[in-house]
A and B are shown apart, each in its own frame.
Chain A
Amino acid sequence: MTYNTNTALHHLRYQLKALEQRWQQECRTCGDTVDDRYADAIPLGIEKVDQALKGGLLPGALHEAWTASTVEMPALSGFGGAIAQLLHTRLKQPIIWVRQSKAETEAGLLYAPGLISFGLDPDQLITVRTKTFAELLAAGLEAARCNAVAAAVIEAWDNQGTLDLTAARRLSLAVEKSGATAIILRVCPTPPPSSAITRWHIASAPSQSLAANAPGYPAFDITLQRNRNGHAGQCWRVEWNHDDKCLQQAKPLSRSGISVSERGSSEAGDRHAVQRHHQFYGQRARMSG
């Protein structure tokens, strides 16, 4: 009896080993194992963006979005919230949002009815308020180490301390190990180098008017400035559809002078727009060069 059980076990072990070896060989012939990771990528729902990202945003990685001025902050948190919601839809896990209490005087509190309007369930959100920047980093790191959260959103304001390369490296190592996804939202004039696998520049964009000239779905101009695993430099105008909880490509507006490339030149008086324009094209030039 014992003999029989042992032989059966040996047989099974042998079969398992053979299967594992075959699988490894197949992986090697495929060329790279990166594609394997992309099996779980979270598609943003817009074909062109997902093509550039090779399928979507990678979970278990550090992503970064930034904007230069406070007035763009709602767009930034809108983008962060949208991504967190997409991750939440997939993973059914809560979202952690870490911010410094000083951010509340700059851009206001996260507002629960507003979250509902935006399509985020406040029950699924845990907010962490920190007093100092060091605490913000520590709390962000702690959240990134927990793989039971869909996303750890870390709001880093440049006037309060710099989330530098070292801090970003720590975050990426933590998420690589735990499998959680971290999103840094930066408000700073020029983002410092970072180890995030994607970096987005976010700007508010005019929305599609509803009836009676009311503002429509939140629209953003998102620029993929850095992409560790693909091409970067493209810019899209996207809308967050809070009814269906998905991102969608904004329809071209009938009004003139709104396309991204024209905005800078047509509104020479707007310093922000010009700066954005330069940064965008400067970044592009660097990429191609």
Chain B
Amino acid sequence: MRLAAVSAEAAALGLSPGLTLADAHVRVPQLHAIDMDRNADRAWLEQIADFCDRYTPLVAIESDDTLILDITGCAHLFGGEQAMRNDVMARLTSVAPHLRACIAGTPQSASAQARYGTIDIIAPGENSRAASPLPVSALGIDKEIVIALCRAGLKTVGDLALRPRGPLAARFGPDILDRLARILGEEDIAITPRRAPPPCSVERRFAEPIGNTDDVLGILGHLLGEAAKTLERRGSGGRIFIASFFRVDGHVARIQVETARPARDADAMMRLFQERIDALSHPLDAGFGYDLVRLSVPVIEPLKPAQRSLDGQTVQQDQVIALIDRLGARLGQASVQRLMVCDSHIPERAACAIPAALAPQTIPKLKSESVFQPVPDRLPPRPLHLFAQPQPVETLAEVPDGPPVRFRWRKVLHEVVKAEGPERIAPEWWQSLDPDETGRTRDYFRVEDRHGHRFWLFREGLYGQETRDPRWFLHGLFP
């Protein structure tokens, strides 16, 4: 076991990450070591990143301990770079006491300065001068290369920058030159934000935190109205709407609603948000109050003003889609489903359910123009209810392939008086020759017992060819 991270006090005692735990205990007997929990660390960093969404939509997690915020064009909203940095430090030092922050022209320059340097804000054009006193390890290169550079007397970035670059690349590879260029501000690459910046985003900041959830939801209504105007100007509608409530203590509640087709009507969207909020397992907790509410629309699609047809069918279709949205907002989109027929002859694979919101173009076709017209002559009858897992039954049946005479299902004996079959369904033999993988041939029977209950039973395996002792299953129930 090795040390993964050390506190400032431990570092002062000479401990460093990478040291074995046994060695560390020898050096500092009273050492207090805690198991590392990467997931918790990550979650905590994500939480801080969520908090940082208030400064800019472009927040990236660079490594296990670094966040990069692209504040291009955002700083003036907070009264300049210095004020913005002060705000970050003031708000975050309570949660992250060892926080260091630096504003610079390139992400690498800022991150190296925050880790190894002392400068808070690097003015434009000052990158190379600010970076020169930093140690070469600030480049983020392998340890071996750092050691090799130090042995050659190149201890700082400044030393390296003065050298001709050709020999450096020849000795240590082209990667080091890219890193050097980025840290010196000669090259700028874009960061990869955690979330893509939404095409439409509106927000409202409050001078004082608001503790009343209803008031905050009222603000959300206003924001939806503003977003609707923006979307209308662009001739588009949103498919996903996310409301983020930033609490003063750093907690961020994100509530997402999806719609079955592009929408921008503020009242309708507010109703969906209300449904979603009502259905939350942890209701919105204002705590010390919210100081920022943001509404972002990450997915937008063209939405043309539609002409209403005179027979009112469009209105009805709209109502059905609105109903799907409301149910989806309350129960989750995956719970509102449309049943589809799939192209497979294996009964359990012949059907699937897809979220109704994902298939708006085929949803309630008001005229019956389905591809899958009921064709009872062609399609053998299928049960109305199908068990996902066929249920084993004890059966008395004729060998080799007769219908069951009686069978016991859920402890009740059913005596078969009518039967139809077998309908032989072969396994997917082209997938594999091993019957354990593909399953065995099934002979399906549609049977009716004395009381008029109708079942769909099958025998798995051909008697004498595939198995000696075929088993019987109940797979479905007919009305």
Chain A residues with CB under 8 Å of chain B are: 70-75, 77-79, 81, 92-94, 96, 104, 107-119, 121-131, 135, 138-139, 142-143, 146-149, 203-207, 209-210, 212-215, 218-220, 240, 242-243, 267, 270, 272-273
B454 pairs with A215, CB closer than 8 A: yes
With A128-B336, A209-B418: A94-B341 Cβ-Cβ less than 8 Å: no
Across the interface, which residues of B come within 8 angstroms of A107, CB to CB?
A: 385, 477
User: Bound complex: CA of A270 vs CA of B343, how far in Å?
Assistant: 42
CB pairs A–B below 8 angstroms (25 shown): A73-B477, A93-B316, A108-B477, A109-B351, A109-B353, A111-B476, A113-B382, A114-B383, A115-B384, A117-B374, A121-B370, A121-B372, A121-B374, A122-B372, A123-B370, A126-B338, A127-B337, A128-B336, A139-B327, A148-B315, A205-B452, A212-B420, A218-B454, A218-B479, A273-B451
Q: How far is the CB of B375 from chain A (nearest CB, A)?
A: 8
B448 pairs with A126, CB closer than 8 A: no
B330 pairs with A139, CB closer than 8 A: yes
Contact of A206 among B318, B364, B452 (CB under 8 A): B452
| B446 is an interface residue with CB less than 8 A from chain A | yes
B335 pairs with A128, CB closer than 8 A: yes
User: Bound complex: CA of A213 vs CA of B445, how far in Å?
Assistant: 12
With A112-B339, A112-B341, A117-B376: A124-B478 Cβ-Cβ less than 8 Å: no
| B93 is an interface residue with CB less than 8 A from chain A | no
Q: Considering the complex, give the chain B residue whose CB is closest to the CB of A255.
A: B417
B319 pairs with A148, CB closer than 8 A: yes
Across the interface, which residues of A come within 8 angstroms of B453, CB to CB?
A: 71-72, 74-75, 204
In the complex, given contacts A92-B367, A108-B477, A123-B362, what are 12 additional A-B residue pairs having Cβ atoms less than 8 angstroms apart? A93-B366, A108-B476, A111-B339, A112-B351, A117-B382, A123-B370, A127-B338, A148-B316, A204-B479, A206-B448, A207-B418, A214-B419
B386 pairs with A109, CB closer than 8 A: yes
User: Bound complex: CA of A142 vs CA of B336, how far in Å?
Assistant: 13
User: Bound complex: CA of A135 vs CA of B275, how far in Å?
Assistant: 12
Contact residues of A: prevailing secondary structure? mixed
Please, how many residues of chain B have a CB less than 8 angstroms from a CB on the other chain? Answer: 64
Across the interface, which residues of A come within 8 angstroms of B368, CB to CB?
A: 121, 123-124
Q: How far is the CB of A46 from chain B (nearest CB, A)?
A: 17
Q: Considering the complex, give the chain A residue whose CB is closest to the CB of B384.
A: A114
Across the interface, which residues of B come within 8 angstroms of A205, CB to CB?
A: 452
Interface string of B466-479 (1 = CB under 8 A from A): 00000000001111
B383 pairs with A111, CB closer than 8 A: yes
B372 pairs with A116, CB closer than 8 A: yes
Across the interface, which residues of A come within 8 angstroms of B376, CB to CB?
A: 117, 242-243
B327 pairs with A143, CB closer than 8 A: yes
With A127-B339, A148-B320: A142-B330 Cβ-Cβ less than 8 Å: yes
Q: Considering the complex, give the chain B residue whose CB is closest to the CB of A113.
A: B382
B412 pairs with A78, CB closer than 8 A: no
Q: How far is the CB of B276 from chain A (nearest CB, A)?
A: 13
| B119 is an interface residue with CB less than 8 A from chain A | no
User: Bound complex: CA of A220 vs CA of B379, how far in Å?
Assistant: 23
Across the interface, which residues of A come within 8 angstroms of B477, CB to CB?
A: 73-74, 107-108
Q: Which of B297-323 contact A (CB under 8 A)?
A: 315-320, 322-323
| B429 is an interface residue with CB less than 8 A from chain A | no
| B286 is an interface residue with CB less than 8 A from chain A | no
Q: Considering the complex, give the chain B residue whose CB is closest to the CB of A111.
A: B386
Across the interface, which residues of A come within 8 angstroms of B419, CB to CB?
A: 213-215
With A73-B385, A113-B351: A129-B335 Cβ-Cβ less than 8 Å: yes
B420 pairs with A215, CB closer than 8 A: yes
| B450 is an interface residue with CB less than 8 A from chain A | yes
User: Bound complex: CA of A94 vs CA of B338, how far in Å?
Assistant: 11
Interface string of B413-453 (1 = CB under 8 A from A): 00001111000000000000000000000000011101111
A77 pairs with B339, CB closer than 8 A: no
Q: How far is the CB of A39 from chain B (nearest CB, A)?
A: 20
Across the interface, which residues of B come within 8 angstroms of A92, CB to CB?
A: 366-367
